[in-house]
Structure 1
Amino acid sequence: MSKGEIPTDPAAESARAETPGKGLRKRGVPRAGMIGGILSAVALVAAGGGLVSAASLAPQSPASRHLEAPVASVPAGSSVGVCPGPARLLEGTPVGTDPQFSPESATAKTSVSAAVLGSNAGAIPGSRLAPLKGTPLVEIAKGAAAPTASAPAPRTPVLVAGVVTGQAVDDVSVLSADAQDNRQAAAGAVLDYAAEDGDLQGSAAAACQQPGNDLWLVGANTALGRSAVLNIANASSTPATVSLDLYGAEGQIQAPGSRGLLVAPGSTRSIVLAGLAPGQERLGVRVRSTGGPVAAVIQQSLLRGLTPGGIDFITPGTAPSVQQVMSGLDIQDPAGLAALTAKPGFADAGPALEIAVPGAADAVVEVKLYGRDGQKALPGGGVVTAKAGAVTEVSLAGVPAGSYTVAASSDVSFAATARLTRGLKSEDAADVGFSASSARLGSQHIVAVPATGDRQLVFGAPAGKATVSYTPITEDGKIRTAITADVAGGTTVSVKVPADVGGSPLVGYVVSAAGDPAYGALLLGRDGRQDISAVAVAPEAAGQQQVPVTLGY
């Protein structure tokens, strides 16, 4: 008898042989045999459970499993801000898209101001302002050695900053700051151009931008008397291959020569947009790069006959979205604007919102203006249908003069930029500015301000109350006492920037916001002149990031 077999009665076995189909009688089974059978059954069940567990651990087909992508921490990199070069006048009629520039006017001046925030221990990260190639123009800080384990942390934060005040530049420059404590350094810079004579008289300003691989610039104009030059800079060590998507007033423009543009490391490529899309009163450009990330800016200038109509830089705004917000819009007297824009050739001398819809569906866009004492209704109602694949213009004239925040929303994603103008007499030189759409304010935005001129911080809260703090940074590297502004929902607040704080010239601000979404910009002008520029507040520094990692071949 094998192990685990139940013993039987010989008489019963004989009866079973004689009578087929009849089973064993239960009372013929001894107690010990029954217990052995139960133990055998338990062993079989346990073995089956082991088989189930093993099956659950065995490899399965990809279709039957759901695996979360592993996440890896990425060390913070250096903070890089690319500042455009000085505005330059095109010489004659360019052949194709390659420009030839004439010498700058005798009064033209271009400078960069910058600030780099130090750590709580008072250490300023290694930072410098340098051309795309060559030795630094200014060594802001060498960088401090990492603190030892025995060094105690300061009880009270030491608030300091490295600064650059009005550094003259004659080409594209780069503000770079090393990472500190596995965070990107909080840094910011602004380029300021001004000229009092020539065809490019006026002022232009732009925040030095972090390079990217997908940028949107809206608001260019290549019609008669208008000049738009796209400047693409590659501050990385990797070649960049750039492709341009062009959106005009009637739809997307297929232009030969807009694909596969090579921008070598440490170089700039300039493209006359009239060579790709001539005669466009409204033009949007999407800049896509493979390889190295790039910075892009459009130098836009106007000439009405022999009278200069202004100069400014169109910078990238936020990516297409169902809501876009622009701050720092300065609007002049509505009656004077109506009289000026009614004259031939002056249709673009008034404020407007330029909307580019990249998708295949039209966008119904609602535009709202928020001023010092609340929302102001636009004469046309503020609702417009923007054509798919095209750029649509919405006039922002007809409201009382003042500073405004523009909020636009739609059921379809779109990109947008606001145009602002200064000057009401057709016989006098005027100026133009552009305020790109920006992201909501967070914490520790570094807003550098030019060394001279009429400077204002403009904050807007389209919906809900927000509290914005702005902390002055002075030329001696000190972080001064923070100032707070309460922005009621649906209003805009303007703050005049003083020349100095505590006896030291002001270089910039650390801006933070809390509460409902708030947006900000720097509005620039010059006393006694019709100069105007707007610079959107750049995003804050990024911390340590985690990215999903895909394993495969």
Structure 2
Amino acid sequence: MHNDARTADPAPVEETVAEDAVEPPRPRARRIPRRETLAGLASALVIVAAAGGIVAAGSIAPQPGGSRSIPAALAAVPAGASLGVCPGPARLLEGTEAGTDPQFSPESATANSAVTGAVLSAPGGVLPGSRLSALGGAVAVEIAKSGGRPGEGTGPQDLVAGVLAGHKVEAPTVLGADASAGLKPSAAGALKFTATDGDLQGSAAANCQAPANDLWLAGASTTVGRTSVLVLSNPSSTPATVSLELYGSAGQIQAPASRGLLVAPGTTRTIVLAGLAPGEKQLSVHVRSAGGPVAAAIQQSVLRGLTPGGVDFIAPGAAPAARQVMTGVDIQDAAGIAAITGKGGFDDAGPTLSLTVPGSADAVVEVKLFGRDGQKALPGGGVVTAKAGAVTEVTLAGVPAGHYTVSASSDVSFVAAARVTRGLTAERPADVAWAASGVRLGSQHVVPVPRGGERTLVFGVLENRATISYAPITADGKIRAAATADVAGGTTTSIKVPEKVDESEVVGYVVSASGDAAYGALLLQQEGREDVSTLAFMPAATGQEKVPVTLGY
């Protein structure tokens, strides 16, 4: 280190001088002998050395507490249990009353509601403790005991599965699995409702969702003949205070009764949305919970005169973002859709995209449809301006019949969902389903496959290529050999689910993807009927997380 020692000027001495004083001539500079010069330099070096000692001592002395800087350390967060809340059976609202304590009529004679789920083991075959419980905590079915012994691994990485194959339920339930080896378990479940008689004919399905404090649901309707009931469930031990933000086609709806809704621990609360926002053709609901996290679903049903128009569970989709993707969108023949939607009261019998912009700026949204053979152009061009603070509809009719992936993108964040319809005859019962926006596929997604009907895995890739592997989970707890699909960008691939593999019933899949962004959904239909449901894949279990911890006082 180079030290530049400089001699400070002496402090000025204040003197009183007469105004007429004359400065005397300066004497000639005296020559300083060399010996005196060396002595002065030596003294300067001593002073500099002393100053350096003082600086060094100051650098190692303890600093004041307020000025200390300690780097943030990463602390491991203990892995939590997997928790998924499954909605209860669909029920018909009795009468036309609106409020937060509605009455429901008895179910139809053919109604059936069942939960299907799967829990993956750790490598080596040790299953985490897992169970299906009532919302209040009472265990209905024990899937695996905690600390179970290793089984005979037959799947990828010697994995096995604990399965729940179509357990009948009569109320909301919770599919839970304990953390294992410091990691969050891979588990997922789904509820399927079916009925072949009554006003709720059709099928409805919903994933068992993890409770959260912020949820978005799009696709509700409160016009004549449409019933939307919001179901809030609190599986935690902490009370939840819920507030709802409602968005319609004309903008945000102010409803005083939508604030401060208390959901007690281990209970469900239902809200008839027509009591808060009547006459809305398209309604989106933003659910925010203070205190305990909640699960939310909208039971939606349609009745056109005396003809059932379908039943569905509207599930939360992805949070507001600049791009939303929905797959598993089944679109019928364009001419048939045009004919049915042209009839009075059937304008919502065709496929559509619902866009909700929660911000203060309009969103110019580009909509693309990717089918089996690539992108299909929408008759309207595919570019629409979605108004800020409102819900905008975009028709998806006019393309060839088939399975599609819908991509919507903008420079403004928005929420989206796609309506799927089945039935082209006005005199016969029809069905409806809403495809929620999904997440990009990663590694080891558990996809439960409910029993009965036609079941199809639908994968969509937006750009370039992706390789997707899917390994069947069978009712005997085995994970069978995985098959792979190489999906080109800008296309949608559909894979029919077999009823059995090696004489054992298929109850789910383990799905992983690599390459470019890929999305997936399960499409449920019924041969000979117009039943339809679609389930977006749930996020995969995350590994152990670490968060920065800053110490200070």
Give the alignment's TM-score, normalised by structure 2.
0.91
The within-5 A match list for 1:185-200 is 185-200=185-200
The within-5 A match list for 1:12-27 is 25-27=32-34
The within-5 A match list for 1:206-285 is 206-285=206-285
* Distance in 1 (alpha carbons) for counterparts of 2:444 and 2:479: 12
Q: In structure 2, which of residues 48, 59, 63 is the aligned counterpart of residue 53 of structure 1?
A: 59
2:16 match: none
Deviations 1:309-333 (Å, cap 9, x if unpaired)? Answer: 0000100000000000000000000
1:105 match: 108
Unaligned runs of 5+ in 2: 1-25
* Distance in 1 (alpha carbons) for counterparts of 2:343 and 2:71: 63
1:546 match: 546
* Distance in 2 (alpha carbons) for counterparts of 1:225 and 1:481: 47
The within-5 A match list for 1:38-187 is 39-50=45-56, 53=59, 58-59=63-64, 69-144=72-147, 157-187=157-187
* Distance in 1 (alpha carbons) for counterparts of 2:111 and 2:324: 34
TM superposition shift of 1:58? 3.0
**Contact (CA 8 Å) 2:459, 2:521: kept in 1 or not?**
yes
Deviations 1:69-93 (Å, cap 9, x if unpaired)? Answer: 5442211100001100000000012
**Contact (CA 8 Å) 2:129, 2:148: kept in 1 or not?**
no
Please state whether the residue corresponding to 1:85 is helix, strand or coil.
coil
TM superposition shift of 1:66? 7.9
1:397 match: 397
1:29 pairs with 2:32: no
TM superposition shift of 1:44? 2.6
TM superposition shift of 1:20? 7.8
Distance 1:550 1:297, change over 3 A: farther
* Distance in 1 (alpha carbons) for counterparts of 2:160 and 2:60: 62
* Distance in 2 (alpha carbons) for counterparts of 1:404 and 1:145: 42
Distance 1:550 1:93, change over 3 A: farther
**Contact (CA 8 Å) 1:97, 1:276: kept in 2 or not?**
no
**Contact (CA 8 Å) 1:450, 1:507: kept in 2 or not?**
yes
* Distance in 2 (alpha carbons) for counterparts of 1:59 and 1:379: 71
1:327 match: 327
* Distance in 2 (alpha carbons) for counterparts of 1:480 and 1:335: 42
Tell me whether 91-100 or 183-192 shows the greater mean CA deviation.
Answer: 91-100
The CA RMSD measured in Å over matched residues stands at: 2.3
Unaligned runs of 5+ in 1: 1-18, 148-152
**Contact (CA 8 Å) 2:235, 2:265: kept in 1 or not?**
yes
TM superposition shift of 1:450? 0.6
2:361 match: 361
Distance 1:450 1:28, change over 3 A: closer
* Distance in 1 (alpha carbons) for counterparts of 2:425 and 2:313: 23
TM superposition shift of 1:218? 0.4
* Distance in 2 (alpha carbons) for counterparts of 1:550 and 1:334: 60
Distance 1:275 1:69, change over 3 A: farther
TM superposition shift of 1:548? 3.7
* Distance in 2 (alpha carbons) for counterparts of 1:484 and 1:28: 93
Please state whether the residue corresponding to 2:311 is helix, strand or coil.
strand
1:12 match: none
1:202 pairs with 2:202: yes
**Contact (CA 8 Å) 1:123, 1:143: kept in 2 or not?**
no
**Contact (CA 8 Å) 1:97, 1:274: kept in 2 or not?**
no
Distance 1:68 1:436, change over 3 A: farther
Please state whether the residue corresponding to 2:205 is helix, strand or coil.
strand
* Distance in 2 (alpha carbons) for counterparts of 1:363 and 1:409: 9
Equivalent AA in structure 2 for residue 27 of structure 1: R
Distance 1:58 1:166, change over 3 A: same
* Distance in 1 (alpha carbons) for counterparts of 2:524 and 2:91: 20
Equivalent AA in structure 1 for residue 435 of structure 2: S
TM superposition shift of 1:137? 1.5
Equivalent AA in structure 2 for residue 29 of structure 1: E
Equivalent AA in structure 2 for residue 46 of structure 1: G
* Distance in 1 (alpha carbons) for counterparts of 2:492 and 2:50: 78
Equivalent AA in structure 2 for residue 357 of structure 1: V
* Distance in 2 (alpha carbons) for counterparts of 1:280 and 1:90: 18
Deviations 1:321-354 (Å, cap 9, x if unpaired)? Answer: 0000000000000000000001111110000000
**Contact (CA 8 Å) 2:247, 2:356: kept in 1 or not?**
yes
